[in-house]
């Protein structure tokens, strides 16, 4: 039985005219899986993630979580944002505590939980600072700690590293993997949207490749590289996967360009 | 106790001591039968202005947040407030007095009318500030709040209120200054041919000039008012600005805003600018559907219709309207409009020239900044309308009669308009990117060429926004300055303002008054549509993010 089932999702954006973004997208997620979603820019991968987060509602189709339709945001599914989404007027610690407060944790308990997760991301010394004074990497660490503090079953990540510089991004990727594989961590599932194929291959168990708009699932690829992956960073296998996915996307872009040209 | 708090405490003590000393020396050195009432007058003015402020805050917040979260409310409220905002406050004051005194006669009614005037002068800045900032909360923060279940009251408390706090503070600061600006008009009122005054600093200032003929006392009171405004600006608004500085790029400043640190001062100016700029450019480029426009025009029309109905005690028929509007003087209306517009234009051009000169110098040369910044702080704190009696007496020593009043009016307009443009220009010059400056250096732009190709285009958007603000405040000043009650006689210069004051205060012809108001508002709105909006759109492309 799947943990999360995405069934026949259709989503239009209505601007001046109706644009079909997601065209009948379906997939399942099993327990203990790190799923990455990649695809050409503007293909609707973030929209798909936001539908799973209940930030947007699909025009048709349903997301089943533990076999029940997902109708509103739940503490069991949390999110890490590309632009961090931290409240600039709250300190680092308060930013992590606030969602806990919303879900009924008592003051002492949430202080304890927030401190623990802040330690996990190595920011315990910065707990009383406002986000304004932090670097991008530190802000995203707070974002991750906030998402994990509710101990959700699924953590969603929307381009979590693309606002960071290359070196910071690389360190943070490894940290996320370390936290995820850590036995004490209860969050077993991660769904990450990214435009970096290398990042997806390096981190995920499975990759969904979406097509150009209107997006369908182009391919569903299992990444058979053992963990920890650091040893395989320069491994042939990893690059083969990257090439395979890149070719898929490039071919898709070319054919849809071709079709567009025919239309004009 | 941390350093900033200690500095505030020290300046509070020193400031209070200086103010006490000022009171003590004024009360002991000036002979006037009312001088012993000075502290009481101060108290009354402060009370009046505070009541008006808290009213505006309550209304501005309620409607601002309401409009930001509810599209239906916003569709009605925003365009209506936008129209009301474009009507010069002093224009409808006579009608307000008639109505309120009709319901509650006597001193209480007068007090309420005065609070109402102050309230309308304050509430727009707060409303539009709150509305715009509540709508511009970054989408990632809204998403995060939603995804972590922060909603309802918790959303207002943890997200909405802190997000709009900087706008509330900046808006309050501007509203507070506007309140002082209108104080003299609100406390010293000519109504049905006689002067009615409320106890307060503004009326005392006017009385010393008009009744006691002691212009030095008026000037002293003006200095006192300015000192009080500066003191409160520093103690309350700048202190509050400090409190949100952690997340809103707001920064503290020294006493009088003297640059104890050049960078800090620039930032503070930037905040004021950004706020005003946002409120102005957003409201001037705000696009309404015809539908919304229509609703708002109907609402405003209904308001005025009921006003006329209330005053006339009968439904205004075409006959009555015709009879009231077609007074012999009406044929001069175009001439009056021409005179008033010329006055405003002359003052505007002078103010613009000086503001560009001062602004560019202050932004480029530290030495000038040391003089101009404090001058800006003080100049902005002087309630210009209160300058009227003093200035007119001083000017009458050189040129009397109507010409004297003409000179007074234009001088007041210049002093009123200049600071809005100065602030905008300084910030614009300051925010020319280092790269652009380097480009001009490397490619050898110098002197006039540099000003023409680099500086002027860069400050164009700021000049436009500054001009909109300057004209907005200018209309109120010109209405006030064209008509001077002096003892039992009145000196006036031809113009829309004096026409309006005469019909409103002397004749009590409400219909004609509303008609003149309609003419003024039409001019304001037409200028907005055909001049400012066009210029804003044109200069938008070289907008530099401040």
User: Quick one: pLDDT at residue B283?
Assistant: 53
Nearest CA in chain A to B165: A89
A25 to A44, A210, B445: CA distances (angstroms) = 11, 9, 59
CA nearest neighbour of A246 among A41, A27, A46, A38 = A38
Chain B interface includes A79 (CB < 8 A):
yes
CB contact under 8 A, A81 and B150: no
Interface residue A163 vs chain B (CB under 8 A): no
ipTM of the modeled complex: 0.77
Tokens of B346: 């002359």
pLDDT digits (tens, 9 = 90+) for B290-348: 777 788 788 877 877 777 777 666 666 677 777 777 777 788 889 999 999 999 999 99
Query: How far does the CA of residue B161 sit from the closest CA of chain A (Å)?
Result: 10
d(CA B490, CA B102): 25
Q: How far is CA B56 from CA B62, B119, B127, B368, in A?
A: 10, 6, 8, 37
CATH tag for B3-27+35-542 (out of 3.30.70.3460, 3.40.1440.10, 1.10.3720.10, 3.30.160.40): 1.10.3720.10
The per-residue pLDDT for range B358-395, each reduced to its tens digit, is: 988 888 888 888 888 888 878 888 888 888 888 888 88
CA angle, residues B91, B97, B98, in degrees to nearest 5: 105
Size of interface A-B (CB pairs under 8 A): 63
pLDDT at residue B276 is higher than 50: yes
CATH number of the structural domain spanning residue A120: 3.40.50.300
**Residue-level pLDDT at B407:** 92
A99 vs B: CB within 8 A = yes
pTM given for the model: 0.79
The predicted pLDDT at position B366 comes to: 81
- pLDDT reported for residue B546: 38
Residue B51 pLDDT: 96
Residue B274: how many CB atoms within 10 A of its CB? Answer: 17
Residue A20 lies in a domain: no
Overall number of domains in chain A: 1
Percent of chain B with pLDDT over 90: 19
Cite the beta strand spans of B41-80 per DSSP E. none
- Is residue A81 one of the residues assigned to a domain? yes
Going by pLDDT thresholds of 50, 70 and 90, the confidence category of residue A193 is: very high
Tell me whether residues A55 and B146 touch, CB distance under 8 A. Answer: yes
Res B204 pLDDT > 60 = yes
Taking only the tens place, the pLDDT of each residue in B442-501 is 776 777 777 777 788 888 888 888 888 889 889 989 988 898 876 667 788 999 988 888
* Residue A201 touches chain B, beta carbons under 8 Å: no
- Contacts of B105-111 with C-beta under 8 Å, sequence gap 24+, read B107/B198, B110/B189, B110/B196, B110/B198, B111/B48, B111/B198
In terms of CA atoms, which chain A residue is nearest residue B139? Answer: A85
The answer for A215, left when phi > 0, alpha when psi is -120 to 50, beta otherwise, is beta
Quick: pLDDT tens for B48-69.
999 999 999 999 999 998 888 8
Q: CB-based contact (8 Å) between A211 and chain B?
A: no
Q: Judge: A54–B244 Cβ closer than 8 Å, yes or no.
A: no
Tokens 């567009």, residue?
A260
Structural domain spans, chain B: 3-27+35-542
Whether residue A168 is contained in a domain is answered as yes
**What pLDDT is recorded for position B10?**
83
Distance CA A5, CA A1 (A): 9
Cβ <8 Å between A89 and B149? no
The residues that bridge with A10 in the sheet, in sequence order, are: A23, A60
pLDDT at B277: 54
Which residues of chain B neighbour A89 with C-beta distances below 8 Å?
162-163, 165, 244, 246-247
Whether A140 is in a domain gets the answer: yes
Q: What is the pLDDT of residues A35-75, one digit of tens each?
A: 999 998 888 899 999 999 988 999 999 999 999 999 888 89
CA distances from B11 to B30, B222, B239, B254, B439 (A): 28, 22, 11, 9, 44
Q: Determine the distance in angstroms separating the CA of A100 from the nearest CA of chain B, rounded to an integer.
A: 9
* Interatomic CA distance for residues A16 and A37, integer angstroms: 28
What domain range is A117 assigned to?
77-151+164-187
């Amino acid at each position: 039985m799947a943990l999360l089932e995405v069934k026949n999702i259709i989503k239009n954006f209505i601007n001046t005219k109706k644009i079909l973004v997601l065209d009948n997208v379906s997939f399942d997620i099993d327990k203990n899986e790190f799923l990455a979603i990649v695809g050409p820019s503007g293909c609707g991968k973030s929209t798909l993630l936001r539908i799973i987060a209940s930030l947007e509602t699909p025009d048709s189709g349903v997301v089943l979580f533990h076999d029940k339709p997902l109708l509103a945001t739940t503490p069991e599914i949390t999110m890490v944002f590309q632009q961090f989404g931290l409240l600039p007027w709250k300190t680092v610690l308060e930013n992590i505590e606030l969602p806990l407060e919303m879900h009924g944790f008592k003051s002492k308990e949430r202080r304890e939980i927030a401190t623990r997760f802040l330690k996990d991301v190595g920011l315990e010394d910065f707990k009383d600072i406002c986000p304004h004074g932090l670097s991008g990497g530190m802000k995203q660490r707070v974002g991750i700690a906030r998402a994990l503090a509710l101990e959700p079953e699924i953590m969603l990540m929307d381009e979590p590293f693309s606002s960071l510089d290359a070196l910071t991004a690389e360190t943070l990727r490894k940290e996320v993997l370390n936290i995820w594989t850590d036995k004490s961590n209860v969050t077993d599932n991660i769904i990450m949207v990214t435009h970096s194929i290398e990042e997806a291959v390096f981190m995920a168990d499975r990759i969904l490749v979406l097509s150009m708009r209107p997006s369908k699932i182009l391919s569903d690829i299992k990444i058979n590289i053992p963990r920890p992956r650091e040893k395989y960073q320069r491994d042939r296998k990893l690059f083969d996967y990257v090439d395979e996915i890149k070719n898929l996307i490039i071919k898709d872009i070319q054919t849809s360009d071709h079709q567009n040209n025919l239309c004009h | 106790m941390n350093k900033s708090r200690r500095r505030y405490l020290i300046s509070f003590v020193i400031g209070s001591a200086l103010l006490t000393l000022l009171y003590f020396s004024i009360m002991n050195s000036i002979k006037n039968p009312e001088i012993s009432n000075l502290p009481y007058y101060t108290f009354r003015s402060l009370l009046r202005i505070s009541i008006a402020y808290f009213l505006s805050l309550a209304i501005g917040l309620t409607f601002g947040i309401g409009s930001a979260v509810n599209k239906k409310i916003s569709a009605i409220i925003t365009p209506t407030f936008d129209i009301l905002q474009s009507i010069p406050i002093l224009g409808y004051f006579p009608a307000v007095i008639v109505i309120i005194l009709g319901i509650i006669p006597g001193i209480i009614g007068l007090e309420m009318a005065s609070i109402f005037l102050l309230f309308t002068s304050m509430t727009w800045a707060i409303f539009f500030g709150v509305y715009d900032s509540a709508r511009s909360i970054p989408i990632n923060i809204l998403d995060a709040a939603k995804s972590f279940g922060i909603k309802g009251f918790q959303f207002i408390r943890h997200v909405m209120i802190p997000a709009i706090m900087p706008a509330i503070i900046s808006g309050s600061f501007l509203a507070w200054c506007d309140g002082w600006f209108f104080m003299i008009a609100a406390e010293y009122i000519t109504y049905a041919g006689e002067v009615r005054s409320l106890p307060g600093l503004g009326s005392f200032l006017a009385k010393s000039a008009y009744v006691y003929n002691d212009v030095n006392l008026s000037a002293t009171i003006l200095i006192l008012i300015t000192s009080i405004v500066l003191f409160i600006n520093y103690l309350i608004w700048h202190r509050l600005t400090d409190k949100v500085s952690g997340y809103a790029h707001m920064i503290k400043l020294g006493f009088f805003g003297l640059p104890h640190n050049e960078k800090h001062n620039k930032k503070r100016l930037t905040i004021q600018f950004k706020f005003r700029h946002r409120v102005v450019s957003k409201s001037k480029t705000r696009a309404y559907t015809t539908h919304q426009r229509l609703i708002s025009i109907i609402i405003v029309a209904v308001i005025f219709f009921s006003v006329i109905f209330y005053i006339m005690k009968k439904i205004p028929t075409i006959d009555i309207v015709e009879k009231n509007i077609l007074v012999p003087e009406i044929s001069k209306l175009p001439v009056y409009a021409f005179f008033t517009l010329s006055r405003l234009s002359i003052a505007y051009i002078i103010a613009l020239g000086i503001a560009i000169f001062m602004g560019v110098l202050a932004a480029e040369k530290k030495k000038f900044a040391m003089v101009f910044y404090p001058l800006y702080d003080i100049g902005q704190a002087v309630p210009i309308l209160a300058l009227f009696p003093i200035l007119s007496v001083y000017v009458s020593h050189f040129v009397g009669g109507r010409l004297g009043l003409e000179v007074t009016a234009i001088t007041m307009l210049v002093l009123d308009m200049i600071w809005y443009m100065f602030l905008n220009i300084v910030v614009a010059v300051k925010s020319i990117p280092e790269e652009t400056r380097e480009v001009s250096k490397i490619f050898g732009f110098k002197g006039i060429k540099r000003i023409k190709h680099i500086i002027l285009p860069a400050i164009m958007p700021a000049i436009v926004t500054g001009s909109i603000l300057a004209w907005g405040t200018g209309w109120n000043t010109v209405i006030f300055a064209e008509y001077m009650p002096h003892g039992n006689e009145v000196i006036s210069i031809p113009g829309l303002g004096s026409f309006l004051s005469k019909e409103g205060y002397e004749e009590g012809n409400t219909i004609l008054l509303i008609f003149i108001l309609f003419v003024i508002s039409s001019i304001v709105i037409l200028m907005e549509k055909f001049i400012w909006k066009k210029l804003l759109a044109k200069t938008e492309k070289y907008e530099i993010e401040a």
